[in-house]
């Protein structure tokens, strides 16, 4: 089973601070997706990383895919209260097309 481990589980910071969320696996993934989910809503896709070593930027969010495609990180610069949410990483499994593995998520709370 290709497990995805996210750390930390919970992060509480003040507005303006930076934060980093990690997604690690012992298995290789062909791609990894990052989602943000707000309470009572479905996860919203933020980005997909595909190439080992890839860095993608989305405004204040920077996503990195490890060289070996086994890990990924999400860095938020100057966090804002609107960044509050559950951040999930996910990747397609190799044992069955169309099946995805999700991390347990990192709950981020940004207070004004």
Partner 1 sequence: KAGVTQTPRYLIKTRGQQVTLSCSPISGHRSVSWYQQTPGQGLQFLFEYFSETQRNKGNFPGRFSGRQFSNSRSEMNVSTLELGDSALYLCASRGQAGYNEQFFGPGTRLTVL
From CA 112, how far away is CA 94, in angstroms rounded? 42
Q: Within a 10 A sphere around the Cβ of 109, how many other Cβ atoms?
A: 13
From CA 72, how far away is CA 52, in angstroms rounded? 10
Least Å from the CB of residue 19 to partner 1: 20
Where does this chain bind partner 1 (CB under 8 A)?
30-31, 33, 35, 40-45, 48, 50, 88, 90, 92, 96-100, 102-105
**Burial class (CB within 10 angstroms; exposed 0-12, middle 13-18, buried 19+) of 104:** middle
Least Å from the CB of residue 1 to partner 1: 11
Q: Which is nearer to partner 1, 76 or 88 (CB)?
A: 88
Q: Which is nearer to partner 1, 44 or 78 (CB)?
A: 44
From CA 84, how far away is CA 68, in angstroms rounded? 30
Q: Which is nearer to partner 1, 35 or 110 (CB)?
A: 35
Q: What is the CA radius of gyration of the chain?
A: 14
Q: Which is nearer to partner 1, 20 or 48 (CB)?
A: 48
Least Å from the CB of residue 78 to partner 1: 27
């Amino acid at each position: 089973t290709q497990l995805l481990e996210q750390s930390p589980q919970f992060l509480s910071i003040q507005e303006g601070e930076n934060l980093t969320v990690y997604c690690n696996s012992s298995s290789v993934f062909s791609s990894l997706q990052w989602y943000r989910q707000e309470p009572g809503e479905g996860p919203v896709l933020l980005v997909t990383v595909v190439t080992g070593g890839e860095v993608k930027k989305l405004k204040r969010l920077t996503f990195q895919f490890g060289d070996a495609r086994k890990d990924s990180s999400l860095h938020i610069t100057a966090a804002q209260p609107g960044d509050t949410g559950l951040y999930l990483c996910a990747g397609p499994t190799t044992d069955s097309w169309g099946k995805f593995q999700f991390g347990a998520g990192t709950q981020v709370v940004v207070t004004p």
